[in-house]
Amino acid sequence: MALSLEEVRRTAALSRLRLTPAEEELYAGQLGRIVAHIDHLREFETSTEEPDPPAGGEAADEPQPDPRGELFLENAPEVRGPFFAVPRMQAGGVGAADTDPVDV
Amino acid sequence: MFELLGRPAEVIAAAVRGGEVSAREMVQASLDRIAAVEPLLGAFLGVEIDEALRAATNIDARRSRGERLGRLAGVPVARKDNLSLAGRRTGCASRILDGFVSPLTATAIERLIDEDAVFVGRTNMDEFAMGSSCENSAFQTTRNPWDLRRVPGGSSGGSAAAVAAGAVPLALGSDTGGSIRQPAAFCGVVGVKPSYGRVSRYGLVAFGSSVDQIGPICRDVRSSALALEVMAGVDRRDATSAAREVPAMLENIEGGLAGVRIGTLREMPVGGLEPAMASAWAAALVRLERLGAELVEVSVPNVPAAIAVYYVIANSEASANLARFDGVRFGLRVADGGLEETYVATRTSGFGPEVKRRILLGSFALSAGYYDAYYGRARGVLLALKRQFRSAFETVDLIATPTTPGAAFAVGEKSGDPLAMYLSDIFTTPASLAGLPAVALPCGSDLLGLPLSLQLMSPPFAEASLLRAARAFERDLAWSVAPEFRGESDAD
């Protein structure tokens, strides 16, 4: 069983991935075989009983100063001042700046 | 020094603390061994020579000032490339994290450094820990030191190969569906996946958040126990870390197997074992009985569903976790017009084929119209699996299985068939899904001399009992980690 090309394209769009026609064919076949295997789950018992999670290390839900802010910015492809810089939402707008700042 | 490098971590640390050898000599020995074997193996993506020698020199200086050194004094350690160490590269063997330097240190690493371990480099892996052979690395294919024509397993293949080759006595891996245990099995070493919640994941790049765990890969059980004890414990920076007492794992580790009830799974697919593994498995059961264990068959009916459940749950989580790689905050950016186009171009260019396949699978399972049939169904089967394991552990202390269906396969043998690759995780995914601790340890070899491995699982947070049993088996088998570097590597 293969997934339809339409299903693969729709899933690629959700995944923010661009596939070539050859990749669409390849993934349609491969994902179809995997999904056919997953379909066997119908044969197994199910439950809705959620086990208690172990008590965890939750921190208080309070903002903490993070002295590493600048270190995070150092990894960004583009920054403007203390902000990550990104392309405009829509490409090629008249008079558009190259980038809009996004807050850290 | 090379000889000492092959000894258990506690022996190395005692020698450094006692002044028989310096931390710098120990680390230099590790760096020399890495330089010697790397052309054959390709286990490392980066060796951090200056940083490692500087850290070792500091340890020696502290000793000369009379300071007390830690339990891992001078022990060289490698980390998988998805574990963060501040100021050093972390890349998940992916082009999308090109140039990324971590601003933080993983808690597990921090705790090892607090005990004076020295980190020497980052090891190769399947990209974003997605794979069972290390062939999905964007940079190189690591080779198995027992036979260079074979894979080391994955995804922590670089860590397992480095330990087996004697380059480091301890390497860190991460295990989502078997990524510590399967490469440990293929490389003839010991790999431990702790209970879900036992070790903080702060600083681990997330793949499947409900299953990811960090654990040690070592040449022996005692070193694994020591490393786990040091890394374990609650961490306020990881809300999923469990506030459970960490037992002294080495305290009773020589206690043996007498009276321990070990379960074998009625539903285990023994028909799929390679003949050598079938023989080694039968021999392992005889050995466990001879050591005083009582074997009991137990039923966990959903075990045969584990791979299908795993590939739905883990990849659904991965499709969400990997949404953060979009060219805005770190790594690669491929500008292509507007913001949305840049997201798509960056991800299309930066992710390799297996990562794309898994993101697609996860997005498909979570998408409208398919969610109930795939994610919802998998979640229901998973919850039943957990309940079945809890029930089984009411009658046994441990459960034993092979770690893999057979020995390491050849490079390229399964890379064209994703489903066949996934099915090789058949024995490791159940413990991952149920959050159980599990250890993979050598149990013999096949006719070609390739290692075979036994897996032991226990109820959550029973690692001390689990490792005691593993130690008893290891002591009796007297396995030698002595890979022969057979065959010629046509490595990249």
Interval B244-289: pLDDT, tens? 999 999 999 999 999 999 999 999 877 889 999 999 999 999 999 9
Whether A59 contacts chain B with CB within 8 A: yes
Among the listed residues B194, B195, B172, B167, the one whose alpha carbon sits nearest the alpha carbon of residue B184:
B172
3-class secondary structure for B364-391?
A: HHHCCCCCHHHHHHHHHHHHHHHHHHHH
pLDDT of residue A60: 75
Confidence check: pLDDT of A97 > 90: no
pLDDT of residue B393: 98
pLDDT of residue B284: 98
CA distance, residue A66 to nearest chain B CA (Å): 11
Q: Average pLDDT in the B53-67 region? A: 98
Chain A residue numbers touching B422 (CB-CB < 8 A): 34
The single residue of B84, B102, B132, B155 carrying the catalytic annotation is B155
Q: How many CB atoms lie within 10 A of CB B263?
A: 23
Q: Which residues pair with B298 in a beta bridge?
A: B265
The single residue of B80, B223, B319, B453 carrying the catalytic annotation is B80
CB B38 within 8 Å of CB B250: no
Q: Do B377 and A76 touch (CB under 8 A)?
A: no
Core vs surface per residue A25-38: b (16+ CB within 10 A) or e:
eebbebbbbbbeeb
Residue B378 is encoded by which pair of tokens?
């998998």
For B18-48, where are the alpha helices, taking DSSP H only? 23-41
Best A5, A31, A38 residue to mutate vs chain B (most B CBs within 10 Å): A38
Q: Name the closest residue on chain A to residue B100, using Cα atoms.
A: A75
CB B313 within 8 Å of CB A62: no
Q: Average pLDDT in the B30-45 region? A: 98
Q: Average pLDDT in the B109-131 region? A: 98
Q: Name the closest residue on chain B to residue A70, using Cα atoms.
A: B103
Q: What residues contact residue B388 under an 8 Å CB cut-off, 6+ apart?
A: A45, B299, B300, B301, B302
Q: Which residues pair with B173 in a beta bridge?
A: B215
Q: Is B155 a catalytic residue?
A: yes
Confidence check: pLDDT of B185 > 90: yes
CA distance, residue A69 to nearest chain B CA (Å): 9
Q: Is B179 a catalytic residue?
A: yes
Q: Name the closest residue on chain A to residue B200, using Cα atoms.
A: A57
- Average pLDDT value over all residues in chain B: 96
Reported as type and span, the H/E element at residue B456 is: strand B451-457
pLDDT of residue A55: 64
When pLDDT is cut at 50, 70 and 90, the band that residue A54 belongs to is low
Chain B residue numbers touching A18 (CB-CB < 8 A): 344-345, 348
Give the Cα separation of B124 and B44 in Å (integer): 5
Q: Average pLDDT in the B357-381 region? A: 96
pLDDT of residue A98: 52
The single residue of B102, B179, B319, B453 carrying the catalytic annotation is B179
Contacts 24+ apart (CB under 8 A), B84-87: B84/B109, B84/B203, B84/B204, B84/B205, B85/B109, B85/B119, B85/B122, B86/A71
pLDDT of residue A89: 81
Give the Cα separation of B187 and B180 in Å (integer): 11
pLDDT above 90 covers what percent of chain B? 93
Give the lowest-confidence range in B2-6, B198-202, B215-219, B480-484: B2-6
Strand order in the sheet with A79-80: A79-80, A83-87, A99-102
Q: Average pLDDT in the A58-64 region? A: 76
Q: What residues contact residue B282 under an 8 Å CB cut-off, 6+ apart?
A: none
When pLDDT is cut at 50, 70 and 90, the band that residue B127 belongs to is very high
Task: For strands B294-298 and A79-80, give the pairing.
Answer: unpaired
In terms of pTM, does the model score above 0.90?
yes
pLDDT of residue A53: 65
Q: Which residue has the tokens 């947070």?
A: B461
Give the Cα separation of B443 and B445 in Å (integer): 7
Residue A5 is encoded by which pair of tokens?
């090309």
CA distance, residue B126 to nearest chain A CA (Å): 19
Core vs surface per residue B57-79: b (16+ CB within 10 A) or e:
eebbebbeeeeebbbbbbbbbbb
When pLDDT is cut at 50, 70 and 90, the band that residue B159 belongs to is very high
Q: Average pLDDT in the B138-143 region? A: 98
Confidence check: pLDDT of B80 > 50: yes
pLDDT of residue A96: 40
Q: Name the closest residue on chain A to residue B325, using Cα atoms.
A: A16
Reported as type and span, the H/E element at residue A102 is: strand A99-102
pLDDT above 70 covers what percent of chain B? 99
Q: What residues contact residue B166 under an 8 Å CB cut-off, 6+ apart?
A: B2, B5, B6, B33, B37, B481
pLDDT of residue B417: 87
Confidence check: pLDDT of A102 > 60: no
Among the listed residues B156, B117, B120, the one whose alpha carbon sits nearest the alpha carbon of residue B136:
B156
Give the Cα separation of B255 and B46 in Å (integer): 40
For residue B168, give the amino acid letter. Answer: V
Residue B462 is encoded by which pair of tokens?
């029973």
Q: Do A87 and B356 touch (CB under 8 A)?
A: no
When pLDDT is cut at 50, 70 and 90, the band that residue A30 belongs to is very high
For residue B464, give the amino acid letter. Answer: A
What are the φ and ψ backbone dihedral angles of A20, each rounded to 5 degrees? -75, 160
CB A34 within 8 Å of CB B361: yes
CB B359 within 8 Å of CB B318: yes
Q: Which residue has the tokens 């506030």?
A: B243
pLDDT of residue A93: 45
Give the lowest-confidence range in A78-82, B133-137, B152-156, B196-200: A78-82
**Structure confidence by residue, pLDDT tens digits, B397-427:** 999 999 999 999 999 999 888 888 888 899 9
Burial class (CB in 10 A: 0-12, 13-18, 19+), B400: buried
Q: Do A77 and B241 touch (CB under 8 A)?
A: no
Q: Do B104 and A68 touch (CB under 8 A)?
A: yes
Chain B residue numbers touching A56 (CB-CB < 8 A): 197, 234, 238-243
Q: Which residues pair with B438 in a beta bridge?
A: B193, B457
Confidence check: pLDDT of A67 > 80: no
Task: For strands B118-123 and B190-193, give the pairing.
Answer: unpaired
CB B334 within 8 Å of CB B350: yes
pLDDT above 70 covers what percent of chain A? 78
Confidence check: pLDDT of A83 > 70: yes
Q: Average pLDDT in the B477-485 region? A: 92
